[in-house]
Amino acid sequence: MSIEGQPKFTGILNDLSERVQLETRLREQAALTRLGEMAAVVAHEVKNPLTGIRGAIQVIGSRLPAGSKDVRIVRDIVARIDALNDLMKDLLLFARPPQPRVGSVDVIALLKGVTDLLRQDPTLVSVRVEVAGRAPVLTMDAELLKIVVQNLLLNAAHAMQGQGLIQVFVTSADGACQITIADQGPGIPPDVLEKLFTPFFTTKARGTGLGLATAKRFVEVHGGTLAIESPATGGTLATIRLPIRPS
C-alpha cells in the first residue's frame, strides 16, 4: 500500500519451530519402530543358532588333549560367540523394551546401589562416584532406571580411562526430578555429540552403539528426557529429567 506517497507493507510471520521439531520426532519414532521390528527378527533368528554353536564348540574343546594349542583357539571362538550373543541381547532390549513395572522408587538409594555395583568391577577400582542431593520418591520402573544410570556411569568411567571422579547431583524443581552425571573426561566433539543417540553409532572398539539409544527410550517411556552435553569447561554432563507423579 502507499500512504502519503510512502510504500508500506504488512508481513505475517509464523514460528514453525515447534511443528518442525514434532514432525522430526515423529519421523524418528517411525524409523525406530521399523528398525526395532527388523532387529527383533534378526536377533531371534541368530540367537538360537548361536547357543547351539557355542555348545558344540565347548564339547569339541573338552575332547582336546591338555596342553593342545587348539585349546586357546576354542576359547577365542567361545569368547567371540559370547560377544555376538551380547550384541543380540542389546538388540532385543532395544527392539522390544520391556513394559515398565511401575512402583515407588527411592532415587538416592537406587543411585548408591548402582554405584556399589560399579565398584565391584576390577577395571574401575580407581573411579570414585559421589552422589549428592535430595529427591522425592518417584513412581516408575526401578530396574529400567538402573539400566539407564549404569549405562551412563560406565560411559563416564570409560571416558576417564578408569580413574577419576564422577559426580552425581540430584535436584527437584518444576514438577521434575533431575539427575545430572558429571565426569572429568575429555568431553565429546560436536560431530560425535549430535550422533550419540543414533542406533548402532559408537566410538568404542567393542561397543554395540545401542546403549544410549536404549537408555533414551527407557527414560522417554516414563515421560522424561535424557540429554548429554560437553561444556566448554571440560568433561561431559548427562542429564535425566523425570516427572514427579503422585504414587
Q: Indicate if 103-243 has the same CATH topology as 17-95.
A: no
pLDDT of 92 reads: 75
Give the separation between CA 76 and CA 225, rounded to whole angstroms: 40
Give bridge partners of residue 6 from the DSSP assignment.
3
pLDDT of 247 reads: 59
pLDDT of 206 reads: 66
3-state helix/strand/coil string of the chain: CEECCEECCCCCCCCCHHHHHHHHHHHHHHHHHHHHHHHHHHHHHHHHHHHHHHHHHHHHHHCCCCCCCHHHHHHHHHHHHHHHHHHHHHHHHHHCCCCCCCEEECHHHHHHHHHHHHHCCHHHCEEEEEEEECCCCEEECHHHHHHHHHHHHHHHHHHCCCEEEEEEEEEEECCEEEEEEECCCCCCCHHHHCCCCCCCCCCCCCCCCCHHHHHHHHHHCCCCEEEEECCCCCCCEEEEEEECCCC
- pLDDT tens digit at each of 247 positions of the chain: 888 889 998 899 999 988 888 887 787 777 667 766 777 777 777 877 888 888 898 898 888 888 888 888 988 998 888 888 877 777 777 777 777 888 999 999 999 999 988 888 888 888 999 999 988 889 999 999 999 999 999 999 988 988 899 999 999 988 899 999 999 999 888 888 888 888 777 777 666 678 888 899 899 889 999 999 998 888 999 999 999 876 5
- For the chain, the domains span 17-95, 103-243
Give the separation between CA 180 and CA 187, rounded to whole angstroms: 15
Which CATH number does 17-95 carry?
1.10.287
pLDDT of 68 reads: 85
For the entire predicted model, the pTM comes to 0.70
Q: How many residues comprise the chain? A: 247
What's the CATH fold of domain 103-243? Heat Shock Protein 90 (3.30.565)
Give the separation between CA 16 and CA 30, rounded to whole angstroms: 21
pLDDT of 170 reads: 95
